[in-house]
Structure 1
Amino acid sequence: MEIGIDKPIQRVNNGDQRWKDEREVQQPLQEVVLTKPLMVAAGDDSGDVEYRTPNLVQRVLSLFKNVRPGSDLTSFQLPPSFNYPKSELQAYGEMVYCAGKDILGECGGAGDPLERFTRVVVWSISTNRPAIFGVVPYNPVLGETHHVSARSLNVRLEQVSHHPPVTALHATDHRHGVNMLWFQRPVPKFQGTRVEVEVQGKRTLKLVEHGETYVMNSPNMTIRFIPPAVDWTGTVKVSCRETGYEAELNYPTSSFFLGRRSSSKHSVTGKIYKTSSPPAASPPPGKWHSTVKIRDPNGGGERVIYNAKEVASKLKAPILKDPQSVLPSESASVWSEVSRGILSRDWEKAKEAKRAVEEKQREMAKARKSRGEVWVPKYFTPSNNGGDDPYEYSPIEKLVPPAPIVVPF
């Protein structure tokens, strides 16, 4: 497996007090830097991450002064001062394995098909985590992996393509009969006053004991410069062919003029229905970062189906349980030196470390090309489905094994 680290590093991460719950890890093979996940914080809808940079709006705008509206930013390189110490693989994975409440495990627990479908919809909403204006995770390198266990859920991610960037996720929970595949390709485009990130790909969630498969897409992301704001936007559709239930969730774009005061900020509306039938349930307008309710169409009133504080607050950083089993391609190892520089606010060190990771990738790509080799993912294979979804892969493993990195609860 080729990854962007030339040799093992044996150093201790001293960290930064700005990042609470950070774990210092020292082991003989790989240095691993693990930080707490993005989460909903009480009284702060921008997320519980203490990372701020002076004159951030001006600095962000300066990055795009020579970029034309409509330009694809997929290959746009950011200096580490615009990164938080986490790979995009880790950010995606945290949406699945970092949760204070086991909503995913509860999906198959309900005996009623409508209730199971409703819980899958709730899980879809729960994957929306706060983003922070002006800072983003690292762009994963080709072959980078991330392997974490939480409760009885085991999750594996791999960067299966670099051009275009595609991330594959496979998660299994043998105890609750859950099998999940998630393929994602972000396509960011500069639109003058904002960046629109279209998130292509799909998520497939199987409840094995019930023989049900749920298919859904991901919301997009809008990053607005004036006033500065980041939010999930677009429409998410969830469907289950076996039960006939479908859902449509709408994440509206907040008003340009009202900015952070807009009532549509962080909003979600939607409906659950069967084709050619009246809505089976109709969630009234809610907030994905606070609470979402559902309204009984038969006059049964409203009930809260999602509380973000229960799911995405007071989360702890993953910890290293088995240092000997950490792969060199693990995200927390590949980017460890860059993360150390960011955490210590040593931007020159972070810049050099990031350049080293990226240069190593370019060298290996040139070497493969000169040998006529085609890179092959380690844990996934292309599905070859006739072009209907070019970003869909099949996992090689039937079940994801327990990981050397675990989430404490």
Structure 2
Amino acid sequence: MLERMVQVESEGEAACAAAVLTPPLSLEGGLAAELRPANLVQRVLSLFRNVSPGSDLSHFQLPATFNLPKSQLQMYGEGVYCAGEEDLLGRCARGRDALERLAAVVAWTISTTRPPIFGFAPYNPVLGETHHVSSSSSGLNVLLEQVSHRPPVSALHATDAAGDVRLVWCQSPVPRFHGASIEATVRGARELRLLRHGERYQVGCPNLVIRFLPSPSVEWAGDVSVVCAETGLEAEIRYCRSRGFLGFGGDARCVKGRIFRSGSRDAAAIYEIDGFWDRTVSIKDVGTGEVSVLYDAHRAIGDLKTPAVQDQKGLSASESTVVWGEVSDAILKKDWERARQAKRRVEDTARKLAKERNDKGEVWVPKHFSLSQNKHGDWECWPLEDSVPPAPIVVPS
């Protein structure tokens, strides 16, 4: 399997030396600015010159010059384990009643929305790639695995040391080219459990829209639902563009929504939600008219710390930061030829292992999850273990 990608006598020590960790995407987004080349828009458009509108770009291979120095698996994980000064996930479990907890889950859901960057994309994870990180401040342990390659499906399992929360996510991005834009929908079941309260929250995900014309931009868009069957409460959140002067322009980071009792789409709102996911989002009690801050982006994702390796021997050869370590190192040093060659080696090795399995009639089985597709076509996964152990990579306090 992927362990064959690193043929060394001392796997732990070599893995640590090869692991490359980069700052998470936060409000500043400085990492991409350092890598941004001249004439970026023209270079991006040239990539899709021969791509037909409507094409599925799930396996489109980008040149290394357009890659962020991290895997998509890391990007998914960072939305969970990289948090600012406020523990929003812990706030969900500490809610005094069902309404307060649902509102907290909405705030935490918004916090997983990180600023996208035009012209750059993470690596497509290879089959069997894993990413295992702990947060020292919240006690959250997070494990991800790329459980399918065609189609690409990523699984996430997270538990905290206090036994209050459990996350099980299954994500499959489906990007399509539309001529002047690319829109990526994320399919899959995403569940947050508040164990002490016996509550399960089904959480959606917005679409990522990359526009080339009339001006380049990248933004989150679409409707996201948060549903708790146990309490009968539900939230609708809409990522949209606010209206500018005379209907032109506006802000693409607008968030609007409501919290209501499930059962009828026409049900009256209990709370109304309004704001901008990169600034503040307010919540209004419809009954009393009281308005308060539900989410503050600067507190939640404004000052995110970079994870670091703390246990050399605990690193797996399938760890994302190891698999792509040489590629990321070359990108950071702007050694584009070395980055191109290193990326090709990772992808060629994955193809070779797939061919060997196919020739032997072997079926690849995920190491940490089971996987299936429901009647609606969405992917579902189940962790093979009840909890996630502490990780060799840690986000400092």
| TM-score interval (norm. to shorter) | over 0.9
Deviation at 1:264, TM superposition (A): 3.5
Contact 2:23 2:31 survives alignment (8 Å): no
Matches within 5 A, 1:276-291: 276=264, 277-284=267-274, 286-291=275-280
Q: What is the alpha-carbon root mean square deviation over aligned residues?
A: 2.3
Using a 3 Å threshold, how does the CA distance of structure 1 residues 303 and 347 change in structure 2: closer, same or farther? same
Give the one of 23, 27, 34 matched to 2:21: 34
| Alignment match, 2:48 | 64
Write the distance in 2 (CA, Å) between the matches of 1:256 and 1:303: 25
Which structure: greater helix fraction? Answer: 2
Matches within 5 A, 1:17-28: 27-28=13-14
Matches within 5 A, 1:141-160: 141-150=126-135, 151-160=138-147
Write the distance in 1 (CA, Å) between the matches of 2:90 and 2:281: 19
Classify the secondary structure of the residue corresponding to 2:306.
coil
Contact 2:139 2:161 survives alignment (8 Å): yes
- C-alpha offsets along residues 110-148 of structure 1, whole Å, 9 cap, x if unaligned? 111100000001111110000110001000000000000
Contact 2:189 2:378 survives alignment (8 Å): no
Classify the secondary structure of the residue corresponding to 1:400.
coil
- C-alpha offsets along residues 386-407 of structure 1, whole Å, 9 cap, x if unaligned? x345511110010000000000
Q: Which piece of structure 1 moves more, 269-278 or 314-323?
A: 269-278
Using a 3 Å threshold, how does the CA distance of structure 1 residues 48 and 76 change in structure 2: closer, same or farther? closer
Give the one of 335, 343, 347 matched to 1:346: 335
Give the one of 311, 317, 330 matched to 1:328: 317
Write the distance in 2 (CA, Å) between the matches of 1:40 and 1:4: 38
| Alignment match, 1:174 | 161
Using a 3 Å threshold, how does the CA distance of structure 1 residues 52 and 272 change in structure 2: closer, same or farther? same
Q: Which amino acid aligns with 1:251?
A: Y
| Alignment match, 2:253 | 266
Using a 3 Å threshold, how does the CA distance of structure 1 residues 65 and 293 change in structure 2: closer, same or farther? same
Write the distance in 1 (CA, Å) between the matches of 2:244 and 2:154: 32
| Alignment match, 1:85 | 69
**Please, which runs of 5 or more residues in structure 2 have no aligned partner?**
none
- C-alpha offsets along residues 338-373 of structure 1, whole Å, 9 cap, x if unaligned? 001100000000000000000001111110011000
Contact 1:3 1:361 survives alignment (8 Å): no
Using a 3 Å threshold, how does the CA distance of structure 1 residues 255 and 225 change in structure 2: closer, same or farther? farther
Matches within 5 A, 1:234-245: 234-245=222-233
Using a 3 Å threshold, how does the CA distance of structure 1 residues 201 and 292 change in structure 2: closer, same or farther? same
**Residue 225 (structure 1) aligned with residue 218 (structure 2):** no
Using a 3 Å threshold, how does the CA distance of structure 1 residues 336 and 111 change in structure 2: closer, same or farther? same
Write the distance in 2 (CA, Å) between the matches of 1:213 and 1:360: 40
Deviation at 1:375, TM superposition (A): 0.3
| Alignment match, 2:234 | 246
Deviation at 1:5, TM superposition (A): 2.5
Deviation at 1:9, TM superposition (A): 10
Deviation at 1:258, TM superposition (A): 10
Contact 2:373 2:379 survives alignment (8 Å): no
Deviation at 1:102, TM superposition (A): 1.1
Matches within 5 A, 1:200-211: 200-211=187-198
Classify the secondary structure of the residue corresponding to 2:20.
coil
- C-alpha offsets along residues 248-267 of structure 1, whole Å, 9 cap, x if unaligned? 111125789999x8323111
Q: Which piece of structure 1 moves more, 323-332 or 294-303?
A: 294-303
Classify the secondary structure of the residue corresponding to 2:183.
strand
Using a 3 Å threshold, how does the CA distance of structure 1 residues 274 and 48 change in structure 2: closer, same or farther? farther
| Alignment match, 1:369 | 358
TM-score of the pair, normalised by structure 1? 0.90
Write the distance in 2 (CA, Å) between the matches of 1:69 and 1:360: 31
Deviation at 1:383, TM superposition (A): 4.6
Deviation at 1:49, TM superposition (A): 4.2
- C-alpha offsets along residues 316-349 of structure 1, whole Å, 9 cap, x if unaligned? 1101110100000000000001001100000000
| Alignment match, 2:384 | 396
Classify the secondary structure of the residue corresponding to 1:357.
helix
- C-alpha offsets along residues 204-244 of structure 1, whole Å, 9 cap, x if unaligned? 00000000000021111000112111111111011001110
Deviation at 1:203, TM superposition (A): 1.1
| Alignment match, 1:140 | 125
**Please, which runs of 5 or more residues in structure 1 have no aligned partner?**
11-25
Using a 3 Å threshold, how does the CA distance of structure 1 residues 244 and 144 change in structure 2: closer, same or farther? same
| Alignment match, 2:91 | 106
Write the distance in 1 (CA, Å) between the matches of 2:120 and 2:94: 38
Using a 3 Å threshold, how does the CA distance of structure 1 residues 192 and 253 change in structure 2: closer, same or farther? farther
| Alignment match, 2:152 | 165
Give the one of 99, 102, 108 matched to 1:117: 102
Contact 1:6 1:360 survives alignment (8 Å): no
Contact 1:235 1:248 survives alignment (8 Å): yes
Contact 1:86 1:137 survives alignment (8 Å): yes
